[in-house]
Amino acid sequence: MIKKIPTTAVPLSIFEIAKGFRSFLSQKRYIGEFEKNFARYMGSEHAFAFNSCTTSIYIFLKALKRLSNKLEVVIPAYTVPTLVLPILKAGLKPRLCESSLDTFNMDFDYLADVVNDNTLCVLPIYHFGFPYNIDIPLRLASEKNFFTLEDAAQAPGATLNGQKVGTLGDAGCFSLCRGKNFSTVSGGMLITDSDELATIIREERDRLPRQNLTFKLTIPLILTVYSLVTRPFNYGLFYRLIAPFKHNTIHESFDAIQYSDFQASIGIDLLKKLDKFNEIRRTKGMALYEALKGNEQILLPKITENSTPVFNHLPLVFKEVKSMEWVQQELWKRGIDTGRMYRKPVHHLYDLGYDREKELFPNALSIAEKLITVPTHPYLDDESIEKIIDVFKRLDT
């Protein structure tokens, strides 16, 4: 079978990419327009674009350091490993909190024992685009005087009690990188309602170097290739060429620079389609969720009441590694790729001062070792959904 459904994709036409060249032909800065539109969409006062979500976190933490001398930043033990890099680059210390087997996110039952008088910020993360209540970190933030940054990298457009995630704490960050439900291949957004924070963030952002000429000249090609190779027929046909570009190494650093006008120009148009694409993802994701939720071989993330997940992916945690490997093989035979996200907890990949001989975060370890994601993007057709369901039925017999 040549056709293969990729793990992730955002439909992006060549026509939309071609419209990005208006940024080369005009004196207009599209970044400012994109930021204004994104802030309006989120219902936030301020938005700032960067070359990555990692950079947006770094700049936010630098801004906080100008307001506080506290040094610790709390993140879940199971998350994207590179989250520690902006914390360290900002001269701060990562502190880990156990993960939940119900949500696959930070387990707030442990949070009160993790935060202390030296806590600068807590980062609740909406993994895979699933919102969950953050009342506990917000209450603790008020009591202990620390900041809350919602990491909504995978959740632009997701809501909780009618409010978009990313607007509940002091600030929210979003990823525009490949693999996300709203993507210009690379990029990140930071939003806040605080005028004081916005002033500092703007100062810090404006000090960052701009994209170099090489990037400006190659980004149209990169976006074109991304648009083409995520289409199922091309993904299958060129998979051997694509596979080496999948992220499978641990990063030791990152470049903090500004966003590009070319990408901003495309982002303006994609933002208009975000709700439509998210609704498609929800429809496909819920079809899979409802069909698989009774399977005793897997755990699915709890869907919080009064929330609208955006299903950046559908994550599944298996009870047995052998079952996970069998499912991946069977789905690939049927033309469906799956993802392995963050295969080890953060403290297994970076030396953060935690004892590795005694596992302090067993839930995070279990999630990391036994989680795969299945696609929910608009290129996933009904036939492929049925194939996924059929494979899991076979697993449960």
* Strand order through the sheet with 159-160: 163-164, 159-160, 307-308
Q: What class does CATH assign to 14-206?
A: alpha beta
pTM here is 0.95
| Paired tokens of 167 | 């607007």
- Cβ atoms of 257 and 26 closer than 8 Å: no
| Paired tokens of 28 | 């207009």
| Residue 315, beta-bridge partner list | 373
Tens digit of each residue's pLDDT (9 = 90 or more) over 230-269: 999 998 888 887 777 666 667 788 999 999 999 999 999 9
Most distant CA pair in the chain, distance: 63
Tens digit of each residue's pLDDT (9 = 90 or more) over 189-233: 999 999 999 999 999 999 999 999 899 889 999 999 999 999 999
Unique residue bearing structure tokens 């641990």:
250
pLDDT of residue 13: 85
Domain map (residue ranges) of the chain: 14-206
| Residue 125, beta-bridge partner list | 151
Tens digit of each residue's pLDDT (9 = 90 or more) over 269-326: 999 999 999 999 999 999 999 999 989 999 999 999 999 999 999 999 999 999 999 9
Closest alpha carbon to 15 in 214, 180, 227: 227
